[in-house]
Chains A and B, each alone.
Chain A
Amino acid sequence: MMKRFVLLLVCLSALPLQARTVETMLDNGMKIIIREDNRAPVVVSQLWYRIGSTYEYDGITGASHILEHMMFKGTETLKPGEFSEIIAANGGSDNAFTSRDYTTYFQRIAKDRLEIGLKLEADRMRNVVFQPGEFAKELAVVKEERRLRVDTNPKRQLFEQFYATAFLTSPVRIPVIGWMEDLKSMQMEDIQDWYRQWYSPNNATLVIVGDVVAEDAIALATRYFANIKPSEIEPPKRRSEIEQKGQRRLTLYGQTSNPYLIMGYKAPVLNGSADKVKDVYALAVLSGILDGGSSARISMKMLRGDEIAVEAGTSYDPFDRLAGLFLFAGTPNKDISPERLEQAFKDEITDLQKNPVSAQELQRVKAQVIASRVFDQDSMFNQGMQIGMLDSVGHDWRLIDSYVDNIKNISAEDIQRVAQTYFPDDQLTVAILLPESGDDQ
């Protein structure tokens, strides 16, 4: 998580230098984007719905994710589990994931089997059958999933509490898996309604990457999706975050022997910040200056050097749908307090505010972005992810094309300017995890 900047650079810099990418839209409003990549006789097919936890509201948190689970529970013509069985019998694998801004279903399969996945995916866009028995079991599974990922993991709990503290009115505060209290009271009808409301061709984008001819793949997709009627999608009410009035802090005690610190400053994203485009890219480079590898400042000064932390990093995602945070987080070294780690992060910010970064550091970040652009093309799945993520949050996927140039244009002065703009104390939220008493024997 805390290496997200590096991952993002990797994610978003991957313009296949010569890959052919074709985009079209069906009459019913479903977008189709095909990237030809013929390195292996396989194909990755991803169907992206523009729905996730930032569309949810109090009482039904976790609905998007439960719905994702229910999508495997059968349709008018398929038994529960049969979707995955058919894909498996054809040598493919399939799964799905839910995030804040999108829910995605995917198959990886030999290229001559692409049609099978498309047919099944078109079927469950509208024909899922909700059965009370299946729903009850799946809800139990989701609760076990929450116990596994969050309730038995103090760091994850800290992140949940942290987001719910940093954001009061923006749905960014909602955990993707949902609050346990909401899971307990979730009704099958809630999920059915959610399905009817959001699953339609005009709220979806199909992304295919692999050894296909774009026109043929589009023809196949058209055969199965074109006859699905669009529905009226009413965008959720705008729920912007109110202006933060002063610093917020929370402390959580958990089953750990290592304290943990999270600091977050309110930060813009590309979406809805036409006037701040340069700031957003500058923040991305700033994150790389601090945490873009073993020669970056955090590694050299805080992990080595002063040995303040055993692990530490920054995270900033310029491509979320809603405004988010610039994060610092880490585990303090033995005998170092979380407050001391917090001060060390702040010292790094002060340094960036006072002094321009060196030409060598800037060159290093840019070289990493350029190389990652090539490395990323090694994975078809990641190429699909880049296209689908950008598209799903409202960007043109071609933003990948300009990403490297935008990064290249950032100067030392830009970084100094955003360092001075975006890290005031009154925009800060701090969360600290401490060992429960007696836990650290």
Chain B
Amino acid sequence: MNFWRSLILLVGSGLLWSQALALEIKTWTTENGAKVMFVESHDLPMVDIRFTYKAGSARDGEQPGISRLVSALLVEGTGDLDAKQVALQFESVGAQLGHDSLRDMAWTSLRSLSDPAMLDQVVDLYARVNALPSFPPDAIERDRKSLLVSLANRKNQISNVVNDAFFAQVYAGHAYQIGQQGTEAGLKSITREDLLDFHRRYYVAANATLAMVGDLSEQQARDYAEQLTRHLQTGEAAPALAPAPQPDKAQIVRVPFKTTQSHIVQGKPVLSRIDPDYFPLYVGNHILGGSGFSSRLMQEIRENRGLSYSVYSFFVPMESNGPFEMALQTRNDQVDEAAGLLQQMLEEFIDKGPTAEELEHAKKNITGSFPLKIDSNKKIVDYLAVIGFYDLPLKYLDNFNERVMAVTREDIKDAFARRVDPLRMIRVIVGEQQTS
């Protein structure tokens, strides 16, 4: 039963838009300077709210792990309320509170019934959870310990080992080098004062986006937005991140690991969220390894050769240049064959580009599946958060299909040749070496 959940994850990121449905995004700034993105939707009596902050691990500085620790501690108490009282106030009206952090962003979320009898019970508390966490000393120690325990076990989880090794190599010296999990030394060095400083610096209105979707009028949304942000200091937006340097040569990193199956990841830093090559690279990758079963990598490596259950490539558009990655997992004795194929298929794609048929097929899939991208409040609030966080144009979704349709084979070939140099890539192989 657990089984299907993972399988469903395969269902890829179709991204699309039909002219029939356009999202009417309202945006404004609260009195203290937080950007608000709102979509009104009255079909269901519920509301989704999300705060995003430029407060991910890219801001950890000398204390890797601090962004994650701050995020974890938001729900551990505010004012006189302890963690249980906070949780109980949300849960007793069935509301769901969430929080997490990644490399670029930290976020909190609230899902509640829209009935003011319920919503009004949690809005101010949610605002306080964001703006006025109390950072109780016992909770700091507990969460620190818990993060250290999970960190210690990462070295036993092969998917984490390969991912951590990849970032350590590709982003050496850059803010993305260490992920939100932090380091042992970093986590141990953090004091309560450090946490307060980090929170004061980054959890501020000028560094926040507030996304709201649901059963509210615009006036209600404006009123709630003021309530939600009123405890936040105005502060300043976080400074832009420096771009990551490009590798100057190809490199293979082998990490020994006791396993029956090796993991391979290769790639380099490429794409930021606002990038003129975004659409050619996105559409091209859809063909190469981004569209599940119809992608070249899946066809050759899984369908024709049975070498891997999962094989794919993707660009992760981030605030700084996020990685291009190709990945697969295969029996130890097939590593050389599979890695060789990955490289060969990438070089061939860059050399010859997609065929006209492949491009047409990709465009049909991408544009045709657009409505599926925004068929729930949850998906819409996700998009609002991304559009707001990365300062994408409000018309991003409206223009999406048009931009996809404009991409030519030459655009793809050209963009890949300039941006995805296959001879200067980092390849990480984690497994038991059986190479001759």
Contacts and interface: CB of A to CB of B under 8 A. Distances in A.
Contact of B87 (A294, A331, A370, A377): A294
Contact of A294 (B91, B153, B156): B91
Most buried by B among A40, A92, A304, A360: A40
Interface size class of B (residues with CB under 8 A): 35 or more
B88 interface: yes
Given A42-B371, A91-B14, A378-B44, A255 B292 contact: no
Given A91-B364, A97-B3, A295 B84 contact: yes
Contacts of A108: 11, 14, 369, 372
B217 interface: no
A40 B371 contact: yes
Given A41-B371, A371-B95, A371-B113, A148 B1 contact: no
A258 B149 contact: yes
Contacts of A317: 1
A294 B82 CA distance: 12
A93 B96 CA distance: 29
Nearest to A332: B149
B75 interface: yes
A148 B260 CA distance: 9
Contacts of A143: 331
B261 interface: yes
A295 B293 contact: no
B434 interface: no
B111 A375 contact: yes
Q: Interface on chain A toward B: helix, strand, loop, or mixed SS?
A: mixed
Given A91-B367, A144-B331, A368 B91 contact: yes
A371 B293 contact: no
Contact of B10 (A85, A95, A258): A95
Given A147-B331, A375-B96, A152 B260 contact: yes
Contact of B94 (A72, A99, A147, A372): A372
A93 B88 contact: no
A230 interface: no
Nearest to A441: B155
Interface string B299-340: 100111111111000000000000000000111000000000
A332 to B, nearest CB: 9
Interface residues of A, number: 83
B6 interface: yes
Contacts of A85: 293-294, 361
Contact of B378 (A256, A296, A379): A379
B146 interface: yes
B220 interface: no
Interface in A81-105: 81, 84-85, 88-100, 104
Contacts of A363: 92
Contacts of A213: none
B1 A99 contact: yes
A151 B261 CA distance: 8
A149 interface: yes
B368 A90 contact: yes
Contacts of A372: 94
Interface in A222-272: 255-258
A93 B11 CA distance: 7
B248 interface: no
Contacts of A275: none
B433 interface: no
Nearest to B369: A91
B240 interface: no
Contacts of B148: 334
A293 interface: yes
B84 A42 contact: no
B365 A144 contact: no
A292 B75 CA distance: 16
Interface in B75-122: 75, 83-84, 86-88, 91-97, 111-113, 118
A125 to B, nearest CB: 20
A81 B371 contact: no
A148 B95 contact: no
A110 interface: yes
Contact of A148 (B97, B146, B157, B329): B329
A369 B94 CA distance: 7
A184 interface: no
B145 A84 contact: no
B306 to A, nearest CB: 4
A295 B153 contact: no
Interface in B259-282: 259-261
Interface string A298-342: 011000100100100000010010000000000101100000000
Contacts of A177: 3
Nearest to B85: A295
B150 interface: yes
A176 interface: yes
B291 interface: yes
Interface stretch (B16-24, B179-187, B415-423): B16-24
A92 B368 contact: yes
Contacts of A304: 83-84, 139, 142
Contacts of B200: none
Interface of A: 1, 39-42, 65, 72, 80-81, 84-85, 88-100, 104, 108-110, 113, 136-145, 147-149, 151-154, 176-177, 255-258, 292-296, 299-300, 304, 307, 310, 317, 320, 331, 333-334, 360, 363-364, 367-372, 374-375, 377-380, 439
The 3 tightest CB contacts between A and B, nearest first, are A91-B368, A371-B94, A97-B4
Given A142-B309, A147-B329, 20 more contacts: A40-B371, A40-B372, A84-B293, A88-B292, A93-B11, A98-B3, A110-B368, A136-B306, A144-B306, A144-B308, A145-B310, A256-B156, A258-B153, A294-B83, A295-B87, A304-B139, A334-B145, A371-B95, A371-B96, A375-B96
21 contacts: A42-B371, A88-B292, A88-B361, A91-B16, A92-B368, A93-B12, A94-B11, A97-B7, A109-B372, A110-B368, A137-B304, A176-B1, A257-B156, A293-B91, A331-B149, A333-B149, A364-B92, A371-B93, A375-B96, A378-B376, A378-B377
Interface of B: 1-4, 6-8, 10-12, 14, 16, 18, 20-21, 43-46, 75, 83-84, 86-88, 91-97, 111-113, 118, 139, 142, 145-146, 148-150, 152-153, 155-158, 258-261, 291-294, 299, 302-310, 329-331, 361, 364-372, 374-378
